[in-house]
Amino acid sequence: MKITGAKVFVGGPGKNYVTLKIMTDAGVCGLGDATLNNRETLPAAYLQDYLVPNLIGMDPRRSEDIWQYFYRGAYFRRGPIAMAAFGAIDMALWDIKGKLAGMPLYDLFGGKSRDGALVYAHATGADLPDLMDSVARYVEQGYKAVRVQCGIPGMPTASYAVPEEAGGDGDYITDFSGIRPKTEIWDTDRYMRFMPGALAEIRARFGPELKILHDVHHRLSPREAAAFAKAVEPVGLYWLEDPTPAEDQDALRLIRQHSTTPIAIGEVFNSIWECNKLIENELIDFIRLAVTYGGGITHVKRIVDLAALHHVRTGFHGAPSHSPISMAAQAHLNAWAPNFGIQEYLVLGTPACDALFPSAHEMRDGMFYVSDAPGLGVDFDEGEAAQYSYKPGSHPIVRLEDGTMWNY
Ligand code: GCO
Ligand code: MG
């Protein structure tokens, strides 16, 4: 059996999804997602210029060897661009494997460990009453877990994932007005004074059952993060995410020494080598890597297995920048993983997105039910894709009030 060709598409409804389609002489195709938010053309070029020409003629069943061939063969291994490109190939090869076997991927991994996978939604508010309304809407829809982000009184601009005005909505991650980023202003003291109390009020209003998550988005120093994690302990957060910049892994040790608040980290990691020590030393509770820029199913499954040995559960990244293809890959891992925790899930199910990526995956009452179709269980409609093309966009950047650059 041979790979006969592969195509890369960039575009989608309100997103620049990077979609890979691998064709074989067995008449079976596989799909992969290489979307790297706001840098989408780079994994697309890596695929197009280097990987696809090498793929032609390879046996698609040898997904492990193909992964090793590209990873070891690159010499300059790892990094989000390369790992997203390897990841898309890997997903597509697993998709082909599942279709050849006539089995959904979760069965190839070892079968289902649960019927549905718990997901969390993103509630956001310009201020606390606005955030409470947002949480209430998700609770009414049946969500059992909600991430909460709130505008901070006195902060000169909105902060990460927060609208400028109450009732505001939209894509807070990507600004499609151009390639030059907008600037957000950040002040740690105001955040530290306000946020623990706001989280306590959310807990008081919604009661003990709701799983409440909060994302610090890499903004605190290790000492500040330790103080914050300690201050919010009575809230009983499901997790505190990215309390410190992810490069400094020792920072997590200080947080652990001061608090029992569960810590989630890893959405900017792209290999096991960035989280193996965090996992082995049991300094985190949830690993957040995405199957996309984590090198695909083959590599992420190794991380999940390592995590299982150390009581670390999964909480895969599921920002709206992931296409339904990688969300499906994660859904199959979620159905199988003995150490599954939760899945971040942002509404992908718009009519335009469903038309581009038809599937039988289903979201119901705050749970994700994976399709039983062979492979990933997602299709890609090339006719629909023809209407989309790449649109430049950017993340905001962050500065302190005196102009110092900070972490987005
Ligand atoms: C999350 C993340 C995202 C990132 C985004 C960057 O927890 O979902 O923090 O919102 O900011 O993926 O592209
Ligand atoms: Mg995050």
CB atoms under 10 Å from CB of 180, counted, come to: 10
Q: Is the CB of 175 under 6 A from ligand 1?
A: no
Report which protein residue has its CA nearest ligand 1's atom 13.
37
SS (H, E, C) 199-250: HHHHHHHHCCCCEEEEECCCCCCHHHHHHHHHHCHHHCCCEEECCCCCCCCC
Residue bearing the bigger pLDDT, 289 or 172: 289
Candidate of 217, 238, 244 to mutate for ligand 1, largest count of ligand atoms within 8 Å of Cβ = 217
Strand partners, 8: 20
Convert the pLDDT of each residue in 297-309 to its tens digit: 999 999 999 999 9
Mean pLDDT (the chain, rounded)? 96
Task: Give the closest ligand to the alpha carbon of residue 321.
Answer: 1
Q: How confident is the model at residue 168 (pLDDT cuts 50, 70, 90)?
A: confident
Query: Does ligand 1 have an atom closer than 6 angstroms to the CB of 173?
Result: yes
- Give residue for tokens 């993983």: 337
Residues with CB under 5 A from ligand 2 (ion): 215, 267
pLDDT at 167: 85
Beta-ladder partners of 5: 23
Helical packing angle, 324-336 and 80-101, nearest 10°: 70
Ligand 1 in reach of 398 Cβ (< 6 A): no
Query: Residue 353 carries which side chain, given as an amino acid letter?
Result: C
Task: Report whether pLDDT(24) > 80.
Answer: yes
Does the pLDDT at position 171 exceed 80?
no
Nearest atom, ligand 1, residue 217 CA:
9
Residue nearest to atom 10 of ligand 1 (CA): 319
Place of tokens 């309390």: 243
Res 198: pLDDT: 98
Question: What length is written for the chain?
Answer: 408
Give residue-wise pLDDT tens across range 34-45: 999 999 999 999
In what helix (H) or strand (E) does residue 278 lie, and over which residues does it extend? helix 276-280
Give residue 101 CA to ligand 1 midpoint distance, Å: 35
Residue 170, pLDDT > 70, answer no
DSSP annotation string for 46-89: HIIIIIHHHHTTS-TT-HHHHHHHHHHHTSS--SHHHHHHHHHH
Question: Which atom of ligand 1 lies at the shortest distance from residue 160's CA?
Answer: 11
Encode pLDDT of 204-214 as tens digits: 999 999 999 99
Q: Given ligand 1 and candidates 317, 342, 397, which is best to mutate, with the most ligand atoms within 8 Å of its CB? A: 317
Dist. CA 286–CA 311, nearest whole Å: 9
Task: Please report the atom of ligand 1 found closest to the CA of residue 344.
Answer: 8
- Over residues 71-93, mean pLDDT: 97
352-395: pLDDT as tens digits: 999 999 999 999 999 999 999 999 999 999 999 999 999 999 99
Residue 140 has pLDDT above 90, yes or no: yes
